[in-house]
A and B are shown apart, each in its own frame.
Chain A
Amino acid sequence: MDLPKCGSVQEISNALSTNQGSIKVTGRLIQHDCINRQATLCDPQTSASLCVDTSLTEPLEGSVGSLFQVIGEVEREDGGDTPIVRARIMRCVDGMDLLMYNRALRNQQKYFQSRNVTLVRHN
């Protein structure tokens, strides 16, 4: 079975700056346009937002206002400055404590840094 690349866990605020192939981000769905299949994900703490292409994952399980976790590839459209995440997995994670999630994430990254291994294995 051809395995997809693993989505390296990122916070929305620095998800696009890293420019990595596959990412996994978690945030609140603040806008969803099901005709153009586009959605916007926002981090409640930093209020950083992210554009998501949902054409592979329609219909969405939840509605606007739900928490969503997205695994997908960062893509830059020709001419457009804003990168977009083409989601291949989108799951509703209502009930997740985002504050704790971010803390756990930072803890994990700290551990990986301590053993000098980057979080993502570049294939």
Chain B
Amino acid sequence: MIFPRESLTWDCYCICYEMDVEEMEVDGTENHSLRNDKIPKTLCGLDFCFHVFNKMYIDDIIALEQCDVIPGMYWYKRHPIYKVDIMGVVVKRQENVRCFIYAVDDGTGVITCCCWKSRLHEQSSEDIETTLQRCRNLPEVLRKKMSGVLMSEAKKKEGYSLGDLVHIRGKIKIFRGEREVVASYHNKLEDPNMEIVRMSELPVLYRNLYDVDTLPKKVLEELSEMSGQRKGICHSEIVPELKKILVTFIEDQQPEEISVEHVSKIPGVTDLLKEMKTSEEKNTQIQSALGVLEGEGRVFTKQKSQVYGVINPGCSMERLIMDILKRDCVKEKFQNEGCHYLHIVDEVRKSPDYSAITNSCVLTCLNNLEYQSDVIRTSFTKYFLCKI
């Protein structure tokens, strides 16, 4: 038997062989630092390995790292592997009622492959000749093809014998503690050169795809950014905790003002910030917690001092607002509907103490006043005095 060198497999083989080996090795080491951390499971689908049958060495399939999160998935370096494509020689076979079990050897390792028997074959009791008889009207070429297909199908039914070169595609499963490939496609290869094709194809695939990161650079950058952010989240988890402590502190003690120093001495806060070494770090955390509270209108920054004013029922800003309302609600403009809260904010900002007050602080104050029945809302945004 002589195989034409022009055939497709030969072409692909020669291309594989001619690829520059040295250059590819450089690529392999470049991404070394990224190898150890895995892609988050939600992004596994981005990797080409996830969807395809990966041609791999059997030794590598046996050594694949199991993924804890997703059952049935394995890691080869940073690539999620579900399905594999192997080619090797049958070195052991076992026939069960429902399936054939083969041991396949590709020169690097041996793995068991489970090939389920097709139910269809059991049902069709027709033998090849009667089927061909039915198709005798077909042209000669098709009839030959038909008999070829039927013959190979019939052979598949009998299973492969020792020493056959087989091509198997399937999912990796663990059966009785051993890894095996459950075949979704299997075929016997008549051409011994297919083994050579595979042998020269694999190093190229490994060097270019499996051993390197194949995700686009942009995705990789975003991934590394994300992992950086995750560290940030760890820190920012402290801020909501701090906030909770501060809120209970303000509600219990009702202080008029609060400072960063003051906060750091609250027992709960010292516990929380124990892990941080420098006081600068602690202060930034406290400040960001206070910033959150300011956004919610519970505290406000006082001008020219490091002290935060606290908005409590009965605080000095309430008196100021009441004064403003008493003055303005008599005016003709506001007589009927009361003052818009933005007008009140403007008026409050005129006082030097509260020149940078936020809307939310004034709204909290107004809420407190409303709660005490000092003011009443005539509409969603307008406030009126209860007693003039």
Contact = CB atoms under 8 A, between A and B. Distances in A.
Contacts of B3: 95, 97
B8 interface: no
B211 interface: yes
B75 interface: no
B206 interface: yes
A103 B382 CA distance: 88
Interface stretch (B194-202, B219-227, B282-290): B194-202
Interface of B is mostly: mixed
A88 B62 CA distance: 23
B103 interface: yes
A96 B207 contact: no
A97 B5 CA distance: 10
Contact of B89 (A3, A89, A95, A117): A89
Contacts of A120: 108
B192 A1 contact: no
B165 to A, nearest CB: 8
Nearest to B211: A115
A7 B162 CA distance: 14
Nearest to B162: A89
Contact of A97 (B92, B106, B193): B193
A94 B193 CA distance: 10
Interface residues of A, number: 36
B181 interface: no
A97 B205 CA distance: 22
A111 B206 contact: yes
Given A3-B110, A3-B112, A95 B2 contact: yes
Interface in B112-138: 112
Interface string A85-116: 00011110111110011011101101100110
B148 interface: no
A71 B203 contact: no
B179 to A, nearest CB: 11
Contacts of B13: 100, 104
A111 B89 contact: no
B58 A6 contact: yes
A103 B18 CA distance: 11
B261 interface: no
Contacts of B110: 3-6
Contact of A107 (B91, B105, B203): B203
Contacts of A4: 91-92, 103, 105, 110
B196 A108 contact: no
A2 to B, nearest CB: 8
Contact of B25 (A108, A114, A119): A114
B107 A6 contact: yes
Most chain B C-beta atoms within 10 Å of own C-beta, residue among A1, A4, A71: A1
Interface of A: 1, 3-9, 24, 67, 69, 71, 88-91, 93-97, 100-101, 103-105, 107-108, 110-111, 114-115, 117, 119-121
7 contacts: A1-B92, A6-B59, A8-B108, A69-B89, A91-B163, A94-B192, A104-B196
